[in-house]
Amino acid sequence: MTLRLGDTAPNFQVDTTTGKIDFHEWIGDSWCFFFSHPADFTPVCTTEMGRTAQLAKQFADRNVKPLGLSTDTVEEHNKWIEDVNDTQNTTLEFPIVADADKKISELYEMIHPGESDTAAVRSVYIIDPNKKIRLMMTYPMSLGRNFDEILRAIDGLQTADKHGIATPADWTPGDKVIIPPTVSNEEAQKKFPQGFDEIRSYLRYTKV
């Protein structure tokens, strides 16, 4: 099974640090930032778990639920959380999936040959309230994730859904957006009464 953008995120039932969950039921009407780690008690992972906890309000403001995964047990996760809180000066409250048997990491293709036979690489899945996979990123085990980019990507996806637009390179909230070529000028005038700048017939900018 190869997961692609637009696929329904595979459902699963699993134990986590906050109790057993059914993935789809747990997401509910929210978005999900589902991210994996090679193992507990590893340095890069500790900083990433801490950063996710520090950004709890920013995720909540975007209606996003973080869900971590590591190929260890709930017991190990709970011990690790104490270290995360202590070293990263935070309080980690989001659930971490226990995946000691690697069933979920294999389901989501988080085990990469050449990286490790037992540990998940740093995968990111952004999943929308319809349980569709909207974005996938995979980092090597040596490289920490950029959380500014993760939040920017979520903002871009949500802005595109809300306004029917696309975002240009390096877009951040408040910047101009792009009107898709499938929208005619006549339609654009109705949809974007604030007006738009036509640089080319296929490149039109507006503000939303």
Helix axes 74-88, 43-54, angle to 10 degrees: 70
Q: What pLDDT is attached to residue 202?
A: 96
For 199, other C-beta atoms within 10 Å of its C-beta total 10
Residue 48 sits at φ, ψ, to 5 deg, of -70, -40
Q: Is 145 within 8 Å of 124 (Cβ atoms)? A: yes
Dist CA 73 CA 96 (whole Å): 10
**Cα-based torsion angle of the residue sequence 92, 76, 1, 135 in order, rounded to the nearest 10 degrees:** 20
**45 carries an active-site annotation:** yes
Q: What pLDDT is attached to residue 166?
A: 98
Q: Is 33 within 8 Å of 66 (Cβ atoms)? A: yes
- For the stretch 113-121, contacts whose Cβ atoms lie closer than 8 Å and that sit 24 or more positions apart, written own/partner, are 115/140, 115/141, 116/38, 116/141, 118/71, 119/38, 119/39, 119/71, 120/36, 120/37, 120/38, 120/69, 120/70, 120/71, 121/36, 121/38
88 contacts: CB under 8 Å, gap ≥ 6:
46, 47, 49, 50, 51, 53, 54
Per-residue pLDDT of the chain (208 residues; tens, 9 = 90+): 689 999 999 999 999 999 999 999 999 999 999 999 888 888 999 999 999 999 999 999 999 999 999 989 999 999 999 999 999 999 999 999 999 999 999 999 887 665 555 565 689 999 999 999 999 999 887 889 999 999 999 999 999 999 999 999 999 999 999 999 999 999 999 999 999 999 999 999 999 9
Q: What pLDDT is attached to residue 142?
A: 83
Which candidate in 9, 32, 45, 119 is catalytic?
45
Q: What pLDDT is attached to residue 118?
A: 53
Give, rounded to a whole angstrom, the gap between the first and last alpha carbons of the chain: 38
| Helices and strands: H and E segment counts in the chain | 7, 10
Q: What pLDDT is attached to residue 119?
A: 60
DSSP character at residue 72: S
Q: What pLDDT is attached to residue 114?
A: 53
Domains of the chain: 13-145 (3.40.30.10), 164-206 (3.30.1020.10)
Q: Is 81 within 8 Å of 95 (Cβ atoms)? A: no
